[in-house]
Chain A
Amino acid sequence: MSYSDRARGLYLNQLNGLKESGIFKQERFIHSNQSAEIEVEYPPGSSVKKVINICSNNYLGLSSHPEVVKAAHAGLDYRGFGMSSVRFICGTQDIHHELEARVTEFLGTEDTILFPSCMDANAGVFEAILTSDDVMISDRLVHASIIDGMRLCSAEHDTFKHSNMEHLEEKLEQYANKRLRMVITDGVFSMDGDTARLDEMARLCEKHDALLFVDDSHATGFIGKTGRGTHEKYGVMGQVDVITTTFGKALGGASGGCVSGRRELVEMCRQRARPYLFSNTISPVIVSGTLRAFELLTQTTERRDKLEKNTIYWRKGLSEAGLIIKEGDTPIVPVMLFNAKLSQDFSRDLYDLGIYAIGFFFPVVPQGQARIRTQVSAAHEIHHLNQALEAFTAIGKKYNILGKTKQEIIEMYGM
């Protein structure tokens, strides 16, 4: 026992620092399944309140879908609860292999390897396939898990301005002497809801003989005409060398991720990726549920089509109400408030009106770009969206920001 008062004091100080700077995170307890309407206890100890959820990654409404739940039950009966082993010792079942094949087919790649999460896929993939003779060139807004993965890899790294193709090409030229160059991006950027210009990027990679890496966590299942992802939207299926994605969002939302792409790169991950080698993979229950989610998506595009309609309706509604949103066509729709405190106040008032959405501010997004990030789902019905629009309008009116420009809002509330 050496957890002295001094040690405790150190941590208490740090935690207080977080509270004082307003970035201390607190969980909200949900007393229901994940869906369009949820029952929330917040703050802890208060009575449970029914609210419309407009901030989950349950894009296709599959998280509590009866078919997915049923398949998970069946998986539990059929292949048990756990494996008590990592993949390469005695932790691989037929259904793990089946899911890998299913993902490969769905994404139009050559091969796939499962990881406990997409965080783990991103943490393991770079180190497994690149060496100190190589360079990783990443978009400045890639997800934190990619940054962690790049930090674990001995290849040199550099960044290009967000979605700036001229800057990317400069960097590709600058590192022409490297053994391998890998261009790294998210397919859909999770904070802004914009998409990477994969057609341009694939062309540049072809021209400069570079590899292309895309994290499609916020795209797999619904972006593109048949929901294959950002590479489908931009007409470059088969041209992305590595795709990582998650099963923890649109695809049933439980957990798990994968690396999918060129056969040799996937094989290198099987030989060398540490989160694959040293951690159990996803349980049979989740594999079965996720397999069913893929089946549902392959049978019909109904869900992604509904999501697309909802997205258009929601974006139009917010704009017409006079709020400033980030332009785009994905279900991630940030409502820009610019000021951090305003974003928190706005979120709290929404909750009072039965709408659950969270304010994001620096350092999660750049200074002066605080926002409420909303996410549309195929689980939403038009009446949910209407109710949310009414709340956004009422609170927008309260703070007098409807129809105001960015400049005017900043003049009223500061950055």
Chain B
Amino acid sequence: MDDIKEVVLEYVKAEYAEDEDEVTYDTPLISGGLVDSFSMVSLKRFLETKYKISIPDDKATPEAFDSVNKIVQLVKEFQK
């Protein structure tokens, strides 16, 4: 399961972070300004494709996407 964590962190780094940004599992992504809510869609799409899940829009909130750890929780919830 830690696997998901690694994958999501790698994706977030590659997709959103600039070289000087430090990103950990708990870095606030949206409230911290690293990911804007408009750019969040590519993350949602990535998770849905990669884990073959469907996250309804009302669950894909900025709060639920606010850190790698939270995102992993969300993914696990929909994998069941």
Would A367 and B32 count as touching, CB distance under 8 A?
yes
Contact partners of B36 in chain A: CB under 8 A = 140
Contact partners of A145 in chain B: CB under 8 A = none
Would A362 and B41 count as touching, CB distance under 8 A?
no
Would A159 and B42 count as touching, CB distance under 8 A?
yes
Contact partners of A366 in chain B: CB under 8 A = 33
Partner of A362, one of B33, B38, B39, B42: B33
Contact partners of A159 in chain B: CB under 8 A = 38-39, 42
Would A158 and B41 count as touching, CB distance under 8 A?
yes
- State whether the Cβ of B18 lies closer than 8 Å to any Cβ in chain A: yes
Contact partners of B32 in chain A: CB under 8 A = 367
Would B33 and A157 count as touching, CB distance under 8 A?
no
Within 8 A of B (CB), among A338-388: 362-363, 366-367
Would A363 and B33 count as touching, CB distance under 8 A?
yes
Main secondary structure of the interface of B (DSSP, over half): loop
Question: What is the interface residue range for chain B against chain A?
Answer: under 10
User: How near does chain B come to A388, taking the closest CB pair, in angstroms?
Assistant: 30
Number of A interface residues at 8 Å Cβ cutoff, please give it.
12
Contact partners of A363 in chain B: CB under 8 A = 33
Contact partners of B16 in chain A: CB under 8 A = 161
The complex places the Cα of A366 from the Cα of B42 at a distance, in Å, of 20
The complex places the Cα of A140 from the Cα of B36 at a distance, in Å, of 8
User: How near does chain A come to B48, taking the closest CB pair, in angstroms?
Assistant: 13
User: How near does chain A come to B29, taking the closest CB pair, in angstroms?
Assistant: 12
- State whether the Cβ of A176 lies closer than 8 Å to any Cβ in chain B: no
- State whether the Cβ of A152 lies closer than 8 Å to any Cβ in chain B: no
Would B41 and A157 count as touching, CB distance under 8 A?
yes
Most A CB within 10 A of own CB, among B36, B38, B39, B42: B38
Chain A: CB-nearest residue to B18: A161
| Residue interface bits B1-40, CB-to-A below 8 A is 1, else 0 | 0000000000000001010000000000000110010110
Contact partners of B18 in chain A: CB under 8 A = 161
A-B contact pairs, 19 of them (CB 8 A): A140-B36, A140-B39, A147-B38, A150-B38, A151-B38, A157-B38, A157-B41, A158-B41, A158-B42, A159-B38, A159-B39, A159-B42, A161-B16, A161-B18, A362-B33, A363-B33, A366-B33, A367-B32, A367-B33
The 6 closest A-B pairs by CB, nearest first: A367-B33, A159-B39, A366-B33, A158-B42, A147-B38, A140-B39
